[in-house]
């Protein structure tokens, strides 16, 4: 077994994949490509209606009694291009630029997320001289838009005891757990009326850093929707006219604008004490808070003072931000909430919160608590986008074997072992196959989902050596 030749074959497989269209929801061609790949090598395969493909390879002679290993990667990619590019992702191959041990694409995303993972699986299936137990390679679809392929796949003929996912983005890091999540929408429709004896003001909050509501929730960044509710609570006679805050439930809201009515002359005076005592991180140092009167004679209609206070009560009483830290993994957020979107217009109120937890029962407990508050205030509740968590297994054999293999290929240095407060496909698979011992690995990939996406080839070679040593030690 010549590992150098295997490395070059790995990169060639990735380059071949780059000629096959594989935008999310359009994975039919890559599925056909993988089925043809299996046929040419007389390998068992199954393709489902979602274009997921499972390929199995028999054990090498003498390895028939060893535990089966499942390898998994997703076939779809995020397709982005420069404004002046004429690239057609439905038919044009990705034009790869190779220089100084890196791969990039000309004017488009590269698709190393997760094309390089797919290439690793193809290599293991193709290599005849590699001594392996029975292996199963699962190629899933629509990971980038909700992990739909992993969710909908029929796992009934999976025989593996171990899963190695190859969708990581840092070669020195192994992911060993992730959060599950759900989005909850609270809605209510209130009567609106012309406010009397009051003036209209606009509260603007901007300049906040925002970020991902999973991996950035522990960084102490201010949520502009929550801050707006804290400030407006100081205006006792408030009547809300409109509210526009945040754009996505899974993003920390960084801009909020609220038009409200009050008889108070200078509402900002009631807010200053809160503003001056905020614990502001360096990232949020550019925060701007302003209140100005709307002197144009536009005819605004507001919801009542009581209903406005209901809105503020809901926003302020929903459990959110970091709710609980993990007891198993130091520094890992276990449970969190994020009020990503608040919209109020013409009396129609919509508030969306994203909940995450690595323990599903704790996520459900927070959800039930929040929903009871919303019900008591007369809000309707709808839930969507649920995905399961992957609880860290502190007794993982696979993790121990990975650490040994990593150290052997990194001069005795230890890898980073972490769980993440975001969703990955391992969570979907763990829900269906909770007995699996799992780990997620990958080479160094930067700026994914952008035209600057970069794959570092040296890390591919090192990961290959680590992976091969892992397999050897497992069997």
Which of 357, 387, 417 corresponds to the end of one domain?
387
- Copy the structure tokens of residue 100: 């100084």
CA distances from 216 to 66, 94, 175, 182 (A): 41, 32, 17, 17
The C-alpha atoms of residue 230 and residue 97 are separated, in whole angstroms, by 51
Facing residues of 184 across strands?
Answer: 353, 383
Same domain, 166 and 198: no
Same domain, 349 and 216: yes
CA distances from 336 to 69, 330, 365 (A): 33, 16, 12
Same domain, 58 and 166: yes
- pTM for the full predicted model: 0.79
The C-alpha atoms of residue 317 and residue 304 are separated, in whole angstroms, by 20
Same domain, 422 and 346: no
According to DSSP, residue 67 is labeled P
Q: How many residues belong to the chain?
A: 475
- Copy the structure tokens of residue 407: 């150290």
Q: How many Å separate Cα 225 from the centre of its chain?
A: 21
Which of 342, 372, 387 corresponds to the end of one domain?
387
pLDDT tens digits, the chain, 475 residues: what are they? 799 999 999 999 999 999 999 999 999 999 999 999 999 999 999 999 999 999 999 999 999 999 999 999 999 998 999 989 999 999 999 999 999 999 999 999 999 999 999 999 999 999 998 999 999 999 999 998 889 999 999 999 999 999 999 999 999 999 999 999 999 999 999 999 988 889 999 999 999 999 888 888 999 999 999 999 999 999 999 999 999 999 888 889 999 999 999 999 899 999 999 999 999 999 999 999 999 999 876 678 999 999 999 999 999 999 999 999 988 778 889 999 999 999 999 999 999 999 999 888 999 999 999 999 999 999 999 999 888 888 889 899 999 999 999 999 999 999 999 988 888 999 999 999 999 999 999 999 998 888 999 999 999 999 999 999 999 998 8
Same domain, 11 and 136: yes
Q: Give the range of the structural domain holding residue 290, as residue numbers without chain letter.
A: 181-387
The C-alpha atoms of residue 94 and residue 400 are separated, in whole angstroms, by 38
- Copy the structure tokens of residue 391: 């609880």
The C-alpha atoms of residue 100 and residue 228 are separated, in whole angstroms, by 49
Which of 133, 195, 180, 198 has its CA nearest to residue 430?
Answer: 180
pLDDT, residue 473, reads 92
Could you tell me the CATH number of the domain that includes residue 270? 3.30.70.360
Which of 58, 74, 229, 238 has its CA nearest to residue 148?
Answer: 74
Same domain, 434 and 286: no
Which of 387, 404, 420 corresponds to the end of one domain?
387
- Copy the structure tokens of residue 208: 């906040």
Same domain, 370 and 395: no
Could you tell me the CATH number of the domain that includes residue 35? 3.40.630.10
Place of tokens 């290993």: 69
Cα-Cα-Cα-Cα dihedral sign, residues 202, 207, 208, 212: positive
Which of 415, 400, 409 has its CA nearest to residue 469?
Answer: 409
The C-alpha atoms of residue 293 and residue 199 are separated, in whole angstroms, by 7
Same domain, 255 and 270: yes
- What is residue 152's three-state secondary structure? helix
Facing residues of 72 across strands?
Answer: 138, 165
Q: How many Å separate Cα 174 from the centre of its chain?
A: 16
Same domain, 211 and 317: yes
Place of tokens 């035209």: 451
Same domain, 79 and 117: yes
Cis before 114 (ω within 30): yes
Contacts of 369-376 with C-beta under 8 Å, sequence gap 24+, read 369/319, 370/184, 370/318, 370/319, 370/337, 371/184, 373/313, 373/314, 373/317, 373/318, 374/186, 374/314, 374/318
pLDDT, residue 449, reads 85
Which of 144, 92, 91, 93 has its CA nearest to residue 117?
Answer: 144
Same domain, 168 and 242: no
**In this structure, how many other beta carbons lie within 10 angstroms of the beta carbon of residue 355?**
28
Same domain, 399 and 310: no
pLDDT, residue 296, reads 75
CB 172 within 8 A of CB 238: no
- Our count of domains for the chain comes to 2
């Amino acid at each position: 077994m010549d590992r150098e030749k295997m490395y070059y074959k790995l990169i060639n497989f990735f380059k071949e994949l780059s000629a096959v269209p594989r935008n999310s929801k359009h994975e039919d061609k890559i599925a056909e490509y993988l089925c043809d790949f299996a046929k040419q090598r007389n390998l068992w395969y199954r393709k489902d209606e979602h274009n997921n493909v499972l390929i199995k390879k028999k054990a090498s002679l003498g390895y028939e009694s060893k535990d089966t290993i499942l390898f998994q990667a997703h076939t779809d990619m995020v397709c982005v291009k420069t404004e002046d590019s004429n690239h057609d992702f439905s038919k044009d191959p990705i034009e790869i630029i190779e220089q100084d041990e890196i791969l990039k694409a000309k004017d488009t995303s590269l698709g190393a997320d997760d094309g390089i993972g797919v290439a690793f699986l193809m290599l293991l299936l193709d290599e005849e001289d590699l001594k392996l137990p029975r292996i199963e390679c699962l190629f899933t679809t629509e990971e980038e838009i909700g992990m739909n392929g992993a969710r909908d796949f029929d796992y009934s003929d999976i025989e593996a005891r171990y899963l190695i996912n190859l969708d990581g983005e840092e070669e020195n890091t192994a992911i060993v757990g992730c959060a599950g999540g759900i989005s909850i929408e609270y809605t209510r429709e209130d009567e609106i009326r012309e406010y009397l004896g009051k003036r209209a003001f606009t509260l603007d909050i901007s300049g906040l850093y925002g970020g991902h509501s999973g991996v950035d929730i522990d960084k102490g960044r201010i949520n502009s929707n929550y801050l707006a509710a804290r400030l407006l609570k100081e205006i006792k006679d408030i009547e809300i006219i409109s509210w526009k805050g945040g754009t996505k439930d899974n993003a920390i809201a960084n801009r909020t604008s609220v038009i409200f009515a009050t008889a108070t002359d200078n509402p900002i005076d009631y807010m200053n004490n809160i503003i001056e005592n905020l614990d502001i991180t360096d990232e949020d140092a550019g925060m701007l808070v302003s209140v100005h009167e709307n002197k144009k004679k536009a005819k605004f209609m507001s919801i009542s003072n009581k209903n406005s206070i209901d809105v503020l009560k809901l926003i302020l009483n929903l459990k959110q931000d970091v709710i609980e830290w993990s007891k198993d993994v130091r520094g890992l957020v276990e449970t969190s909430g994020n009020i990503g979107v608040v919209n109020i217009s013409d009396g129609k109120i919509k508030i969306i919160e994203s909940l995450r937890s690595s323990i599903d029962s704790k996520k459900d407990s927070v959800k039930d608590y929040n929903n009871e508050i919303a019900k008591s205030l007369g809000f309707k509740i709808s839930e969507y986008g649920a995905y399961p968590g992957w609880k860290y297994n502190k007794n993982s054999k696979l993790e121990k074997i990975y650490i040994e293999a990593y150290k052997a290929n990194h001069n005795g240095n230890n890898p980073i072992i972490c769980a993440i407060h975001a969703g990955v496909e391992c969570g979907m698979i763990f829900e269906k196959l909770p007995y699996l011992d799992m780990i997620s690995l990958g080479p160094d990939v930067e700026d994914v989902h952008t035209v600057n996406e970069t794959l570092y080839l040296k890390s591919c070679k090192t990961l290959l050596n680590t992976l091969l040593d892992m397999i050897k030690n497992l069997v």
